[in-house]
Structure formats: structure tokens, C-alpha cells
Amino acid sequence: MPFFGMNRIQNHSCDKKKPLQVISPRTLFFYFSRKRALLSASFPAVNRGADGSMTVEAAMCLTLFLFMTVILMIPMKIMNTERKMQAALEAVGEDMAQYAYLTDQADSGLKGEAANTGQAGEYLLQAACYFAEKGAKIYTAEKIREKADTDAVVKISAAGSSILEDGITIDLIVEYEIRLPFPIFRMDTLKRQLRCCRRAWVGKSGDRGDEIRREEKGKMVYIGKDSIRYHESRTCHYLFNDISGVDFGRIGSMRNRSGSKYRPCSICGRNITGGTVYIMPSGESYHSDKSCRAITAYVQSVPVESVESLGPCSYCSGGSKNDD
């Protein structure tokens, strides 16, 4: 039978004069039941602890997911801001290209005044050009800020732009900063640059236009196929008198200058059964219509410089009659 205070006997700390006390089984049952209750209160069940840990992990994962989503959205927001800024810069560049015509006219007037007033006029011209360029740069920055309509952009500057330095080119260079939602490695903003280059509307011809005008200045003349003279008139009878009409029944026995037979024209000669047809000595086809566009295309317009070796027609261009 167990004895109360047995541990004291083992530790040699008991009082030998006190008698031993006997504990009944009922007393031991209540004693250990109380101990189990205290242990259960001190250490909760394992399944309850697992539920709590999953809640904490879910909260941490959701926070990280939202944070990464915001991080991935930042480049898209930056690209959208750049798109708005570029569109605004292009609109400003177009407006300034149109206004440049007024600047060109004013500049021409100031140059005339400078020629009349001497050195004072030169100073006035230089000052006007200086303030016009500075004003254009300030106007560019303000209009971009107005058209972009975004609070994410700060420190817009167009100081690097060049306005009509060569007289015809507007080169707009805009530097600005995009504000980040939160600092990244101690960086609060992102520096960006835009550029727009346009030709001013000053009424001057471009290189291509000058080339076309130079070509138009050259005299144009007309020649036929295998022609030995050039003609100033498209209706010269030497060009059109080469067309001769023959009976359709004889066309099978006729040959052109190269000795080949005439074949029906693909445009007007498909359904010919009789009557008069038209041929040319150097042609390859016979025609039912004298004004067929295949005959019209037979005459070509060329610059006179390219056919000077042929010589002019005696009928329409003042050449020698013996040569025709």
C-alpha cells in the first residue's frame, strides 16, 4: 500500500519521530485526476495549435502576394505614364511646327529692320530670337504638364531642346521624373527622357520638291518606238501618220519591220471579223480602234537631254526636213 511522504524518506529529509500515514485508493484517484486537469489546462491539444498556425501562414502569404502584385504593376504604370507624356509631346511639337511660320515671318521683318537701323537692329534681332527660344521651351514644359494630366510626373524640363537652330528643325527634348509609389533602394523617382523632332512649317521646299522642280525645268519632248527624231508636239503627224489602215483580209500577209506577223490587240482586237484595222510599221498588233490606249502609250514623253542625239523633228521642232 502506498505511503504518503515516501519521497521524503528517500531524500533523508523526513522526521523519524512522525508516524507514517496510509492513503486510501480513493484519495489517490482524486489526486491524480486533479493533476491531469492541471496539465490539460497548461498544454492545449495538438489539433488546436495546428489550426492557429495555418491562420498565421495564410495571413503572411496573402500579404506577400499583394505586395508582389503591386511590385509587378509598377512597370505597367510607368509605361502608361510614358505613353501619355509622348503623346503630349507629339501634340506640342505639331503645334510649334505650325507656329514656326509666324516666327519665320517675324524673323524676316526683324532682319529687314536690322538692315535699316544697323547695330541696334542686330541687338534687337538677337534678343528677340533668345526670348523666343526660351519662351518656346517654357511653353513646351507647361503644355506637356497640362496635356499629360498625371500627378506621377515631377520636374519637367525642356532645357535641352533646340528651336529652329538651322532655320527649319524643331527638336524637343524633355526630361522628367516619375514618382514611385514607395522608395526602392532609397530611390523615390525614376528619371526619363522624351524626344520629338519635326520640320517647321516655314513654306520652304524639301529636297524632293527641289528635285521635282529641277526636272520640271527641263524641256520634255515626245518620241515613238524606234523613232529617229524627237517631237515637241504630241500630235505631230510623224508620230500619228505611222498608223495606217488596212483591210482585215490582208492582215495575214503583212509583216512589220522585224518581219513578224501582226497579232490581234489584247485590248481592242479580240472580236474583229472584218472591216478596217490599224497597224504601225514597228508595231506587233493590229487594232480595231485608232484611239486604242495601246497606240496612245506608243508615244513616250522624255527629257530632251536624254534624246539630244536623235535631233529635232523637221515638222514640229524646227529640225532639218531632209533628216525626216
Q: Where are the alpha helices (DSSP H) in the chain?
A: 6-10, 25-42, 46-117, 119-148, 207-217, 237-240, 293-296
Give the pLDDT confidence score for residue 322 in this predicted structure.
47
To the nearest whole number, what is the mean pLDDT of the chain? 72
- The predicted-structure confidence for 102-153, as pLDDT tens digits, reads as follows 766 665 555 455 445 445 445 544 555 655 677 778 888 888 888 776 778 8
pTM score of the predicted model: 0.42
Q: What is the DSSP letter of 219?
A: P
State the Cα–Cα distance between residues 324 and 45, nearest whole angstrom. 123
- Tell me the C-alpha to C-alpha distance, in Å, between residue 241 and each of 146, 276, 281, 283, 320: 72, 16, 11, 13, 19
Give the pLDDT confidence score for residue 180 in this predicted structure.
83
State the Cα–Cα distance between residues 245 and 275, nearest whole angstrom. 10
Greater confidence, 233 or 175? Answer: 175
Using H for helix, E for strand and C for coil, what is the string for 94-129?
HHHHHHHHHHHHHHHHHHHHHHHHCHHHHHHHHHHH
Q: How far is CA 27 from the centre of its chain?
A: 94
- Name which of 289, 286, 242 is nearest 264 in CA terms: 286
Q: How confident is the model at residue 23 (pLDDT cuts 50, 70, 90)?
A: low
Q: What is the pLDDT averaged over residues 222-242? A: 75
Q: What is the pLDDT averaged over residues 48-60? A: 68
Q: What is the pLDDT averaged over residues 176-187? A: 83
Give the pLDDT confidence score for residue 25 in this predicted structure.
55
